[in-house]
């Protein structure tokens, strides 16, 4: 029971915050202002830091460093997720008032998917040690691929999950408020908002395949892996509304994310030869992000930020 208590506390905290978010603060559909998003983002980051303080208190400083490193890795990689959300919402003209609802249920689905994938990855690493080398090589490959890929909105018609949803349900011609489904003459229809939700979920599944092995490069403790990952994901909605108008100006974001993936991938490949200290890993990741942000501020991408603002409707 003692081992189960931290999991129960974490589950209760997450459930309570999600219920407060959707049931109280966002019961009625409205466009989320940047000020509101900043407040929610600060709340999620504050909760994460408080939870990490608990990890340090009960498990020690080493576990605390591992937790914050995993959280920072997931948080930085999720910025790329945010950019894809912006492209999806712009491409399919999702009204700003309905975007929070899509992201709320999208993040809730992502939490469930992450739990399954984290458990599966942990099982593979503990039973087949060679898998850690495969994960390392995969992360290095993904990091290099990050530099070559161009961002574009996922195609709604080519997505396999969306095509499956279309086969299961007839789809209305237009958005029907913030509804995902509605019934007409006894027939259950899906709305285009549900198809966007499916697209967001499938996109997050792709990102999870990258990020989960990256956190296992930091620690093999399932509690630290899961809670740091989920805290980063829970703050993703607020992060989207904070950064949506500014992402175009982050000129060196992609190289920074690529460098982080290559670093953690290399760390996994060297695990049996040299274990990089947790504090050193945290220092490297913070340094990469700091250099990318400073370089983006010092050498901004010409005319990129106005384009991003226009796409977000500002």
Report the C-alpha gap between 127 and 164 in whole angstroms.
Answer: 34
Torsion of CA 117, 122, 124, 130, to 10 degrees: 120
Asked whether 246 and 307 are in contact (CB, 8 A), the reply is: no
User: What pLDDT score does 31 carry?
Assistant: 66
Task: Tell me the residue range of the domain where 114 lies.
Answer: 17-311
pLDDT tens track for 6-30: 888 888 888 887 777 665 555 566 6
Task: Of 22-36, 46-60, 62-76, 243-257, give the lowest mean pLDDT range.
Answer: 22-36
Higher-confidence residue of 153 and 117: namely: 117
Report the C-alpha gap between 194 and 189 in whole angstroms.
Answer: 10
Whether residue 2 lies inside any domain: the answer is no
**Count of other CB atoms within 10 angstroms of residue 164:** 11
Average pLDDT for 149-155 = 59
Report the C-alpha gap between 168 and 279 in whole angstroms.
Answer: 50
User: What pLDDT score does 53 carry?
Assistant: 93
Which residues are CB-neighbours of 93 under 8 A, at least 6 positions away? none
Whether residue 201 lies inside any domain: the answer is yes
**Count of other CB atoms within 10 angstroms of residue 289:** 20
Average pLDDT for 205-219 = 79
Report the C-alpha gap between 125 and 104 in whole angstroms.
Answer: 31
Strand pairing category for 187-190 and 181-184: antiparallel
Whole-angstrom CA distances from 225 to 20, 68, 206 are 25, 10, 18
Asked whether 169 and 148 are in contact (CB, 8 A), the reply is: no
User: What pLDDT score does 304 carry?
Assistant: 44
Asked whether 163 and 157 are in contact (CB, 8 A), the reply is: yes
Whether residue 37 lies inside any domain: the answer is yes
Whether residue 4 lies inside any domain: the answer is no
Whether residue 186 lies inside any domain: the answer is yes
User: Does residue 41 surpass a pLDDT of 90?
Assistant: no
pLDDT tens track for 55-79: 999 889 999 999 999 898 888 877 7
Crossing angle of helices 222-234 and 5-20, in 10° steps, is 10
User: Does residue 224 surpass a pLDDT of 80?
Assistant: yes
Q: How far apart are the first and last CA of the chain?
A: 52
Average pLDDT for 146-169 = 71
Whether residue 76 lies inside any domain: the answer is yes
Whether residue 8 lies inside any domain: the answer is no
What total of structural domains would you count in the chain?
Answer: 1
Report the C-alpha gap between 278 and 143 in whole angstroms.
Answer: 21
Average pLDDT for 143-153 = 69
pLDDT tens track for 99-108: 888 888 888 8
Average pLDDT, rounded, for the chain: 80
Asked whether 211 and 73 are in contact (CB, 8 A), the reply is: yes
Whether residue 249 lies inside any domain: the answer is yes
Concatenating the DSSP letter of every residue in the chain gives -TTTHHHHHHHHHHHHHHHHIIIIITSS--PPPHHHHHHHHHHHHHHHHHHHHHHHHHH-HHHHHHHHHHHHHHHHHHHHHHHHHHHHHHHTT--HHHHHHHHHHHHHHHHHHHHHHHHHHHHHHHH-TTHHHHHHHHHHHHHHHHHHPPP-PPPTTT-HHHHHHHHHS-B-SS--TT-SEEEETTEEEE-HHHHHHHHHHHHHHHHHHHHHHHHHTT---HHHHHHHHHHHHHTHHHHHHHHTTTGGG-TTHHHHHHHHHHHHHHHHHTTTT----HHHHHHHHHHHHHHHHHHHHHSPPTTHHHHHHHHTT-
User: What pLDDT score does 220 carry?
Assistant: 83
Any bridge partners for residue 187, and if so which?
A: 184
pTM, two decimals, is: 0.75
């Amino acid at each position: 029971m003692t081992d189960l208590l931290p999991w129960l506390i974490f589950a209760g905290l997450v459930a309570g915050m999600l219920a407060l978010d959707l049931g109280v603060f966002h019961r009625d559909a409205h466009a989320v202002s940047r000020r509101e998003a900043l407040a929610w983002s600060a709340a999620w980051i504050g909760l994460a830091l408080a939870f990490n303080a608990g990890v340090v208190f009960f498990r020690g400083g080493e576990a605390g460093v591992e937790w914050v490193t995993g959280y920072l890795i997931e948080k930085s990689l999720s910025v790329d997720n945010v950019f894809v959300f912006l492209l999806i919402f712009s491409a399919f003209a999702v009204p700003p008032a309905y975007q929070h609802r899509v992201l709320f249920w999208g993040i809730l689905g992502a939490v469930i998917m992450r739990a399954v994938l984290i458990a599966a990855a942990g099982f593979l690493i503990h039973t087949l040690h060679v898998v850690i080398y495969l994960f390392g090589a995969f992360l290095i490959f993904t990091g290099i691929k990050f530099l070559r890929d161009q961002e574009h909105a996922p195609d709604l018609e080519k997505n396999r999950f969306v095509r499956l949803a279309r086969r299961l349900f007839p789809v209305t011609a237009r958005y029907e408020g913030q509804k995902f489904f509605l019934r007409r003459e006894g027939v259950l229809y899906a709305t285009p908002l549900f198809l966007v939700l499916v697209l967001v979920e499938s996109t997050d599944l792709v990102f999870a395949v990258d990020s989960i092995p990256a956190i296992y490069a930091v620690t093999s403790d399932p509690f630290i892996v899961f809670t740091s990952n989920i805290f980063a994901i829970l703050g993703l909605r607020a992060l989207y509304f904070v950064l949506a108008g500014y992402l175009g100006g982050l000129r060196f974001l992609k190289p920074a994310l690529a460098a982080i993936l290559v670093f953690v991938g290399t760390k996994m490949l060297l695990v049996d030869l040299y274990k990089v200290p947790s504090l050193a890993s945290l220092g490297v990741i913070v340094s990469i992000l700091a250099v990318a942000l400073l370089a983006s501020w010092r050498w901004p991408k010409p005319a990129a930020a106005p384009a991003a603002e226009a796409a977000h409707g500002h």
